[in-house]
Amino acid sequence: MSINEFENKTGFSALRLNHPNGTSSVEVLLYGAHVVSWAVDGQSLLFVSDKAIFEQGKAIRGGIPLVWPQFGPGQLPQHGFARVKTWTLGEKTIADDVSVQLHLSEDESTLKLWPHKFNLTLTIRLTSQSLHQELAVKNTDDHTFDFTALFHTYFTVDDIKTTKISGLHNVTYLDKVDGGQTKTETNRVIEFTGETDRVYKDGGKDSNPLVINDRLQVTGSSTMPDIVVWNPWQTKAKAAADIGEENFPKFVCVEVGHVNTAVSLSSGQTWQGAHEMKLLK
């Protein structure tokens, strides 16, 4: 069992958490509080592009980018700024499970982009078969602010064309590939035949578990009820320098968040949202 600090091969400061029973591990960068690896029983469960850019100010393609305080495009840069800021290391715990806390607060650069004071705490907890992340947002300003949040998780798959996701039947979603139309999921199992970019409203509240290829279960807290399902497919992957045409079959994004509406957080209040990924077999 251990929590080791080291310099990642990319040059970023990193932490490696190893579970006491030796079956699972996770690697997280202080840059972006970005999980870049999660492995169980020798299986690597997260996709990171071999073309990913590891530079200050650039988002990393793959793993688990943290989207905050803005999902998608808007007044801020795409997906906000939390994923391109360097966080500080907080409390470390080694017991039955292994966990660390990472912290981020406003600075001169964030205040220019988004004029609010805040404290973020990301807790990462590793069990023998699962990875749990909880984001706590505290409003330390003297006025209310709004935000959206998302764990933008890239899961490794053998082939997107044979990938199946269950647990979203009858859930309403926004189809961003089809002009932003609102639809209802009629399939009990989602399969992929082309570019997919959907935001399922309250998909995380469904009584059925969300399962990828009958082997990975994804759940979100009641405060993170929305599910994004995304794959760029061939043309968009080819156009993205940090993905590449050959990489689109290798991953699917299944993302837990609060994105259909904004969270409105009063001065002095704290909001918490979490997700958990569990290997079933």
Query: Is 103 known to be catalytic?
Result: no
Dihedral angle computed from the Cα positions of residues 207, 175, 132 and 34, in that order, rounded to the nearest 10 degrees: 180
Query: Is 255 known to be catalytic?
Result: yes
Closest CA to 276 of 185, 228, 204: 204
Q: Exactly one of 27, 134, 185, 255 is catalytic; name it.
A: 255
Which conformational region is residue 280 in: left (phi greater than 0), alpha (psi within -120 to 50 degrees), or beta?
Answer: alpha
d(CA 57, CA 86): 10
d(CA 139, CA 50): 37
Write out the H or E segment, with its range, that includes residue 84. none
Q: Exactly one of 19, 79, 116, 152 is catalytic; name it.
A: 152
Q: How far is CA 72 from CA 2, 272, 280, in A?
A: 36, 20, 31
Looking at the DSSP bridge assignments, the partners of residue 2 are: 18
List, in sequence order, every beta strand (DSSP E) within 152-250: 154-156, 165-166, 172-175, 181-184, 189-190, 196-200, 210-212, 216-220, 226-231
Q: Is the dihedral of CA 108, 113, 116, 122 positive or negative?
A: negative
Closest CA to 254 of 168, 193, 178, 186: 168
Q: Which residues are marked as active site?
A: 152, 255
